[in-house]
Structure 1
């Protein structure tokens, strides 16, 4: 990991540990609720790994805080500016593409704003998000192929797509020029599934 990635991993690890401790949960309990291994939780909390977006989504949903809150604690400010280049790089493609979380809201209804670049040959596979999740994207440059629930959509610059993100889906660039798109993810009711269980702890 480079320095920026290491710093982000430490921030995420500290946030996960803080939220877990605030609930009085053990490492094993968080691992069980998130559907990941105990070793993965330990590695994330220690900041020694660069977890996948899927793992971060599992952890944030289990903790009921939403993915943006793992990158930066919620702020009481009425407005928050993210300057160009300051977003959280949460995915890096084999060929140089990047998925950058640039803004987000707090739970229970979490909205994430992403900036994606897919280099030629890059592909990002995403497992199904929580029930009711919607995704909206618009291609800014190049061409992107989205597969959602078995349906294939090819979008060119200026085209947009809205689809349910609670199914397995992927974004890919099978072309020989880079592609860039913005992505908005709406995830309603984050944490509701685990609140009653946490209360029974």
Structure 2
């Protein structure tokens, strides 16, 4: 794990602990509310391991803060700029791909902007996000196989898609692709409140 990944994990861990304790929740309560094991919550709070995006989403949903709040510096400014090379990588593919969370908003309606790169053979599978989540994808380079539920579509440069993020979905680049794929992804997650029992 790189120093940058360790630093991101430490920031996420501090923020999870901060939001959990601000609510007066024990580790067990956060685990119950998020559906993430107590052991994994402890690992995340200690800034260790490499939690999946799905795990971080479950925790941020339970806390009612949205994933960008756990990753980005919370700023009340009207403009937030993330300089090139400064966005945290929250996913790393087996073949060198990565997903960068480049911008995001705070609850109650969370919007995330991602910059994904998939090397040939890389794939990411995501479980269904919270009800009402929608995603927009624009292919900037290469070819992306987008799977939503039981349907898969191959998208190439300039192709875009709008799809439900509240069903299982995934992104992949064919193993025999001539080069990497790159796409911009926007995720809209409405009504993030953390009020789930």
Deviation per CA, 1:71-100: give whole Å up to 9, x if none. 024211110100111111000000000000
Matching residue of 1:179: 181
Alignment TM-score, normalising by the size of structure 1: 0.95
RMSD of aligned alpha carbons:
0.9
* Change over 3 Å in CA distance of 1:192–1:15 after alignment to 2: closer
1:110-189 alignment runs, 5 A limit = 110-174=110-174, 175-189=177-191
Q: What residue ranges of structure 2 are gaps of 5+ in the alignment?
A: none
Local SS of the residue matching 1:44: helix
- State the Cα distance separating 1:193 from its structure 2 match: 3.8
Runs of 4+ in structure 1 over 3 Å off: none
In the alignment, the residues of structure 2 paired with residue 50 and residue 86 of structure 1 have an alpha-carbon distance, to the nearest angstrom, of 19
Matching residue of 1:22: 22
Deviation per CA, 1:131-177: give whole Å up to 9, x if none. 00000010000010101011111111000000000000010000231
Range with bigger deviation, 87-96 or 64-73: 64-73
- State the Cα distance separating 1:192 from its structure 2 match: 5.1
Alignment TM-score, normalising by the size of structure 2: 0.97
Local SS of the residue matching 2:153: strand
The answer to whether the 8 A contact 1:121-1:176 is kept is no
In the alignment, the residues of structure 1 paired with residue 142 and residue 134 of structure 2 have an alpha-carbon distance, to the nearest angstrom, of 23
Range with bigger deviation, 56-65 or 72-81: 72-81
* Change over 3 Å in CA distance of 1:83–1:123 after alignment to 2: same
In the alignment, the residues of structure 2 paired with residue 100 and residue 87 of structure 1 have an alpha-carbon distance, to the nearest angstrom, of 6
Matching residue of 1:74: 74
The answer to whether the 8 A contact 1:15-1:73 is kept is no
In the alignment, the residues of structure 1 paired with residue 178 and residue 34 of structure 2 have an alpha-carbon distance, to the nearest angstrom, of 38
Matching residue of 1:35: 35
Local SS of the residue matching 2:80: coil
Q: How many residues align?
A: 195
The answer to whether the 8 A contact 1:141-1:157 is kept is yes
